Amino acid sequence: MNLTQRNHWIFDLDGTLTVAMHDFDAIRAALGLPPNRPVLESIASLPEEQAAILRNRLNEIELDLARRASPQMGATELLVGLRKRGAKLGILTRNTRRNAHETLHACGLLDFFEPDCVLGRESAPPKPNPDGIHKLLDYWETHPGDTVMVGDYHFDLEAGRRAGTTTVWLDIEGHGQWLDQADLRVQSLQELMALAIV
């Protein structure tokens, strides 16, 4: 596949454009949630009054992490290169939009993204649901065949696959367990840049 011909790029945030900071086991423990189950889905299964309390606490935890975020090596250079060749850029995160903006600001990446192109869990059902990708495609008035979804987790890849986009798995630690959901596997953003920029 020729990534240099793809003009619409959607990125996950934590662990993809930023250095991974979320210790989900610690977050589950702090919220009193069961282990080995996604945080958002666990909260959604609770009675609304209890869920609202935990959502607020989760927002506080994630906001603290957002303000301490740092960019993944090669993130700035990749985004500069994509913008120079005219690509449209978006963010799709399971975090909130506010925390996504805080994260991008802390990493010096905020100016690469239009505000309407940063989608969080209140913008659309969280990944692996593909609705957030569809929202960005509609906003850009483009189609899945011209779009790349880049992420470090199988929720990112599954959302991209369900939406019909090209899926790129950033597998920094070399796990290799989600190859069946990825059209392409890279181990760094520099490797991705070499494939995406003319």
Q: Does 24-67 carry CATH code 3.10.450?
A: no
Query: How much is the pLDDT for 125?
Result: 95
Among 14-28, 87-101, 103-117, where is mean pLDDT lowest? 14-28
Q: What would the pLDDT profile of 156-186 be if each residue is shown by its tens digit?
A: 999 999 999 999 999 999 988 899 999 999 9
Q: Which helix (H) or strand (E) holds 167?
A: strand 166-170
The span from the CA of 169 to the CA of 141, in Å, is 25
Among 34-43, 84-93, 101-110, 184-193, where is mean pLDDT lowest? 34-43
Residues in the chain: 198
Contacts of 161 (CB under 8 A, 6+ apart): 167, 181
Is pLDDT above 90 for 136? yes
Q: Where are the CATH 1.10.260 domain residues in the chain?
A: 24-67
Is the CB of residue 130 less than 8 Å from the CB of residue 160?
yes
174 sits in the region (left: phi over 0; alpha: psi -120 to 50; else beta) called left
Architecture category of domain 3-20+70-196 in CATH? 3-Layer(aba) Sandwich (3.40)
Is the CB of residue 146 less than 8 Å from the CB of residue 136?
no
Is pLDDT above 80 for 198? no
pTM listed for this prediction: 0.92
Q: Where are the CATH 3.40.50.1000 domain residues in the chain?
A: 3-20+70-196
The confidence band for 74, taking pLDDT boundaries of 50, 70 and 90, is very high
Is pLDDT above 90 for 144? yes
Query: How much is the pLDDT for 62?
Result: 92
The span from the CA of 69 to the CA of 59, in Å, is 15
Maximum C-alpha span of the chain: 52
Q: What is the DSSP letter of 183?
A: S
Query: How much is the pLDDT for 23?
Result: 84
100 sits in the region (left: phi over 0; alpha: psi -120 to 50; else beta) called alpha
